Amino acid sequence: MRARVFFSVAEADPAVLQEATVVVIDVVRATTTMVEALAHGARGIYPTASIEEAVKLTASLGREDTLLCGERKGVKIEGFDLGNSPSEYAATVVSGKRLVMSTTNGTMAFSVTQESPRVLACAFTNLAAVATALRGTEDLVVLCAGWQERFSLDDALCAGHLLRKVLDQGGPEADLNDGAWAALSLSGALEPTLDFLEGTAAGRALEAIGLADDLAVCVDVDRHAVVPEMQDQALVATGG
Amino acid sequence: MRARVFFSVAEADPAVLQEATVVVIDVVRATTTMVEALAHGARGIYPTASIEEAVKLTASLGREDTLLCGERKGVKIEGFDLGNSPSEYAATVVSGKRLVMSTTNGTMAFSVTQESPRVLACAFTNLAAVATALRGTEDLVVLCAGWQERFSLDDALCAGHLLRKVLDQGGPEADLNDGAWAALSLSGALEPTLDFLEGTAAGRALEAIGLADDLAVCVDVDRHAVVPEMQDQALVATGG
């Protein structure tokens, strides 16, 4: 197989994305929250790049069973139903609902995957399930959302641990790009503990706005077996 | 001290660069070649972002003792005196000369450091000398040239090994960004061997254009004790 890891959206060549199965990772917090929402019965999640797009799409889907979700600078967008804390996405709130979501980095990453044949969302919380879903994949891109076009260690480490699981499933030797090689090396050196996450830029930023409680969920490895997969512009639950 | 590693020029915030000692790394091959040139007696190296700028600057410096150097797509620019192979920069060729140099990624990285109080060039070939030169630095940025705004593992590993040496010199605990943390982790997992470099994207690209022989120099750790430091738009030899 061919496996490439890109550490930010800026690194990802559109031509490469068009031909690959793409796994989007935004540990803190978009993909963690998406996994939580789908595990708790949400019907589908529509990632949108802008607030305007989110509002427009929600209006067209029908307001009655659609929740408007997202953050800017970590905080819930004014007038939206939910922010980006995984704990907000309890079954009582999201079950049976469609979610339209716009976050600073995570949902932006999905906007560059629109031509990709298969798109999944991964976090530490569904690592094993995503690895299983990737069995037989020939051409894999792991796209880290990063932070405003920059490297984020939490996403890079998640990419590395995912890749390690995928390669452990066997198959012919993998052709890795520099990012995949680096992510794999990181996964041999670092474990996704709460201490680890609290030390990252993303962890520190969340703590600074009083949302450090979210971090424990973000490193709760394999908490769920759901695999969010893109179908007709929405991520829906597959796997588990 | 505060230490930040950026894996590409795109990651580096201008405001951060303005206040820090910046170490530019482009292992394959710009900073390796610069170290070679200064170790072999070149008077100074003027990094320029564009070919046009290089030609213009050479004319203004005076053609008699100035060499026009650089590459595009790895190959010597037409009409230029030298390409970007370290082996071209022998003492017989460069001693006493001023070099104006334009490369795809490496010299580009210097163009964003123009407001920085101190700018050094580092490669595996002068790692220990640069670490020594950084003693007492409070605010350090290691700027990896990367490859066209993308992560390059060779530069990241060099950054990690440099940082490890700097931190080993002692001093108060360092405040690291995610990139610095990742680079340090990589330096614990990977060594700069020829095998390593041949497996990177940069190594493979060089092999593809028949220049694989350059790689042995690029991983010849501490081959020189010279520290290229920016003074009046030119990198000059300090240290060793």
pLDDT in tens, A159-194: 999 999 999 998 778 999 999 999 999 999 999 999
Contact (CB<8Å) B7/A149:
no
Query: For the residues A76-90, what does the mean pLDDT come to?
Result: 97
Would you tell me how many other CB atoms lie within 10 Å of the CB of residue B118? 17
> In chain B, how many domains are there?
1
Tell me the pTM. Answer: 0.96
How does residue B170 score in pLDDT terms, banded at 50, 70 and 90? confident
Q: Are B217 and A195 in contact (CB under 8 A)?
A: no
Cα(A203)–Cα(A132) distance, rounded to whole angstroms?
28
Q: State which amino acid sits at residue A186.
A: L
In a domain, B9, yes or no: yes
C-alpha triplet B74, B80, B83: angle, nearest 5°: 30
HEC string of A11-58 equals HCCHHHHCCCEEEEECCCCHHHHHHHHHHCCCCEEEECCCHHHHHHHH
Q: Is the pLDDT of residue A240 over 80?
A: no
**pLDDT at residue B149 in the model:** 83
Residues in A closer than 8 angstroms to B153, CB to CB, are 178-179, 181-182
Q: Average pLDDT for residues A122-131, to the nearest whole number?
A: 98
pLDDT at residue number B240:
55
Contact B182 A186 (CB under 8 A): yes
A12-40 pLDDT per residue, tens: 999 999 999 999 999 999 999 999 999 99
Provide the mean pLDDT of chain A.
96
Distance to chain A for B134, nearest Cα, Å: 24
Within-domain flag for B237: no
Instruction: Judge: B182–A179 Cβ closer than 8 Å, yes or no.
Output: no
The ipTM is 0.95
Specify if B144 maps to a domain: yes
- The conformational region for residue A8 under phi > 0 = left, psi -120 to 50 = alpha, else beta, is beta
DSSP for residue B108: H
Is B238 inside a domain boundary? no
- With beta carbons under 8 A apart, name residues in chain A contacting B181: 153, 199-200
Residues B210, B88: Cα–Cα separation, whole Å: 15
Q: Is B144 on the interface with A (CB under 8 A)?
A: no
Q: Do A182 and B186 touch (CB under 8 A)?
A: yes
- Any domain includes B155: yes
For an interface test with B, the pick among A153, A178, A185, A190 (most B C-beta atoms closer than 10 Å) comes out as A178
Is B205 at the interface with chain A, CB within 8 A? no
Given a cut of 70, whether residue B150 has pLDDT beyond it is yes
| Distance separating alpha carbons of residues B118 and B116, to the nearest angstrom | 6
Distance between CA B161 and CA B114 in Å, rounded?
25
pLDDT for B175-229, tens place per residue?
999 999 999 999 999 999 999 999 999 999 999 999 999 999 999 999 999 999 9
Confirm whether B236 is domain-assigned.
no
Contact assessment for residue A34 and residue A101, using Cβ atoms and an 8 Å cutoff = yes
Q: Is A191 on the interface with B (CB under 8 A)?
A: no
Contact across the interface for A149 and B11, Cβ inside 8 Å: yes
Q: Minimal CA–CA distance to B196: which of A122, A171, A176?
A: A176
**Do the domain assignments include residue B240?**
no
The CATH number of the domain holding residue A193 is: 3.90.1560.10
| Contact assessment for residue A32 and residue A83, using Cβ atoms and an 8 Å cutoff | no
Interface contact A156, partner B, CB < 8 A: yes
B196 touches A: beta carbon within 8 Å = no
Chain A interface, best mutation among B8, B147, B148, B151, by max A CB count within 10 A: B151
Q: Which domain holds residue B97?
A: 2-231
Q: What's the pLDDT band for A95 if we cut at 50, 70, 90?
A: very high
Determine the residue of chain B that is closest to A189 in CA distance. B185
Asked whether residue B239 is assigned to any structural domain, the reply reads no
Which strands sit side by side in the sheet containing B175-176, from one edge to the other?
B75-76, B66-72, B98-102, B44-47, B234-238, B227-231, B118-122, B21-25, B139-144, B2-6, B175-176
Which token pair is B175? 């405040």
Rounded to an integer, what distance in angstroms lies between the CA atom of residue A89 and that of residue A213? 14
Smallest Cα–Cα separation from A119: which of A4, A240, A234, A239?
Answer: A234
CB–CB of A127/A225 below 8 Å?
A: no
User: Residue holding tokens 């020939």?
Assistant: A138
